[in-house]
């Protein structure tokens, strides 16, 4: 049964979230791209990032953005002199670009990590590997998300 009070509370909530939605700046796409660029620069310190040596594995079509299996594998002998120091994963469309940063070393034996991510919207997922010689390598995958993370949960 919907009482008047319950209706008002729900309507108020809907209005409030609509207002929150409206507060998103109109140039949100450019802002998120800039945030991703800043996040990458923070990791690389402005060094060049080359494509290759990294294999990012994400399903290209995602039904549910709330749990997206992803794994990153980097070609590296993983010796004391030549190994992967860190693997960084970013997304383009989330409110924040960061997903996970994994710190590895020669004791990992093999440079491969897996996790599950939340992906808010159709866009690019980016993985960057930081090598012990100071070089950076990357791989990116374009994904299509049908049920978005974050947004669908807005009214719980």
Partner 1 sequence: MSRVVVNLPQRARRGEIIEIRTLAAHAMETGFRRTHLGEPVPRDIITRFTCSYNGVEVFSADLHPAVAANPLIAFSTVATESGTLEFRWTGDNGYSAAHSVSIRVD
Q: Considering only residues 81 through 110, tell me which ones interact with partner 1, judged by CB under 8 A.
A: 91, 94-96, 98-105, 107-110
Out of 117, 129, 143, 145, the only residue in the binding site for partner 1 (CB under 8 A) is 117
**Three state DSSP letters for 94-150:** CCCCEEEEEECCHHHCCEEEEEEECCCCCEEEEEEEEECCCCEEEEEEEEEEEECCC
- Residue (53 or 113) nearer to partner 1, CB: 113
155 belongs to the binding site for partner 1 (CB under 8 A): yes
Span of 25-33, 48-56, 62-70, 131-139 interacting with partner 1 by CB under 8 A: 62-70
Among candidates 54, 62, 52, which has minimal Cα distance to 93?
Answer: 62
112 belongs to the binding site for partner 1 (CB under 8 A): yes
62 belongs to the binding site for partner 1 (CB under 8 A): no
Out of 36, 58, 84, 119, the only residue in the binding site for partner 1 (CB under 8 A) is 119
Q: CA 143, CA 124: separation in Å to the nearest integer?
A: 6
- Residue (40 or 113) nearer to partner 1, CB: 113
Q: CA 68, CA 90: separation in Å to the nearest integer?
A: 13
Task: Give the number of residues in contact with partner 1, rule: CB under 8 A.
Answer: 42
Among candidates 97, 106, 86, which has minimal Cα distance to 44?
Answer: 86
Phi, psi of 133 (to 5 degrees): -85, 5
Binding site for partner 1 (CB under 8 A): 9-10, 12-13, 15-17, 19-20, 66-68, 71, 91, 94-96, 98-105, 107-110, 112-119, 150, 153-156
């Amino acid at each position: 049964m919907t009482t008047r009070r319950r209706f008002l509370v729900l309507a108020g909530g809907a209005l409030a979230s609509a207002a929150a939605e409206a507060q998103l700046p109109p140039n949100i796409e450019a802002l998120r791209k800039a945030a991703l660029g800043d996040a990458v620069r923070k990791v690389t310190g402005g060094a060049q990032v080359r494509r290759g040596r990294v294999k990012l594995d994400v399903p290209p079509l995602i039904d549910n953005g709330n749990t997206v299996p992803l794994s990153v594998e980097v070609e590296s002998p993983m010796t004391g002199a030549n190994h992967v120091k860190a693997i960084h994963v970013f997304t383009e469309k989330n409110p924040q670009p960061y997903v996970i940063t994994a710190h590895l070393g020669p004791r990992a034996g093999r440079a491969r990590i897996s996790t599950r991510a939340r992906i808010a919207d159709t866009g690019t997922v980016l993985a960057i590997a930081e090598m012990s010689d100071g070089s950076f390598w990357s791989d990116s995958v374009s994904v299509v998300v049908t049920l978005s993370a974050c947004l669908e949960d807005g009214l719980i």
